[in-house]
Amino acid sequence: MQDDIDRVLFDEAEILRGIDRVAAEVVAAYEGKEFTVVSVLKGSCVFASDLIRRLPIPLELAFVAASSYGDRTEGGDVKVNFFPAEKEIAGRSLLLVDDILDTGRTLHCLKNELLSRGAASVGTCVFLDKPSRRSVEFEADFRCFEVENLFVVGYGLDFAGRYRNLPYVGALRSEVYERELQAAERSGS
Ligand code: XMP
């Protein structure tokens, strides 16, 4: 797995410093309010679990699952696989937590869906932000780090379902995803 990584962008210590900073911002914004952290599966599970343990204020936790691409590095349509139960959304202040804000389509779609299902408010918090790739106008309320236009893996982020368990964020070697894309094309998927 390590051999597929071109370079490490954020190591474990740097990640935790970034999360501490964002956690302080979230606490300042949500202290004294009832709110629910909504983790976007699967990518944000590692970030969300580190983040909530740095929020010493009452909160609830819910999950939403969305996918915007298969085994490829280019985004596609957003598919929402499941939503929290209605009672977890209606009238609640939600904080959507995602691994990476890329084209912006996923969070744009999820925010609108949750508001249309009756959420009182929907804030957004992302671990990584790749502003150069935005295709819809969307900015997160909180973000840990900005990244350049590289395909990144680790700390919850995957390529073809792998690398989520790396404790750091690294840029995937281009040969690795080119190899996968060629294999997918050959098999017609
Ligand atoms: P959008 O384009 O909707 O994308 O903002 C959000 C989702 O796309 C995935 N994504 C990535 N996953 N490395 C990854 O492992 C990346 O560099 C990357 N860029 C986008 C991710 O699932 C995210 O939630």
- Residue 99 among the catalytic residues: no
Domain-embedded: residue 86: yes
| Structural domain for 131, as ranges | 12-147
* Nearest atom in ligand 1 to 98's CA: 24
Per DSSP, the three-state class of 148 is coil
Domain-embedded: residue 65: yes
Residues 6+ apart with CB under 8 A from 182: none
Mean pLDDT per 10-residue segment, the chain (189 residues): 94 98 98 96 97 98 83 65 94 98 96 97 98 96 97 95 97 89 75
Helix axes 45-52, 12-30, angle to 10 degrees: 60
Which residues share a beta bridge with 7? 171
CA 159 to ligand 1 centroid distance, Å: 10
Residues with CB under 6 A from ligand 1: 43, 68, 75, 98-106, 151-153, 157-159
| pLDDT, tens digit (0-9, with 9 covering 90-100), for 121-131 | 999 999 999 99
Contact 143, 162 (CB under 8 A): no
Verdict on whether the full-model pTM lies above 0.85: yes
Backbone angles phi, psi at 43, to 5 degrees: -55, -30
Q: Of the residues 6, 50, 71, 102, which is catalytic?
A: 102
Q: How many CA atoms lie within 13 A of 163 on its CB side?
A: 23
CATH assignment at residue 39 = 3.40.50.2020
Please count the structural domains in the chain.
1
Domain-embedded: residue 3: no
Q: Which of 21, 22, 15, 11 is nearest to 97 (CA)?
A: 22
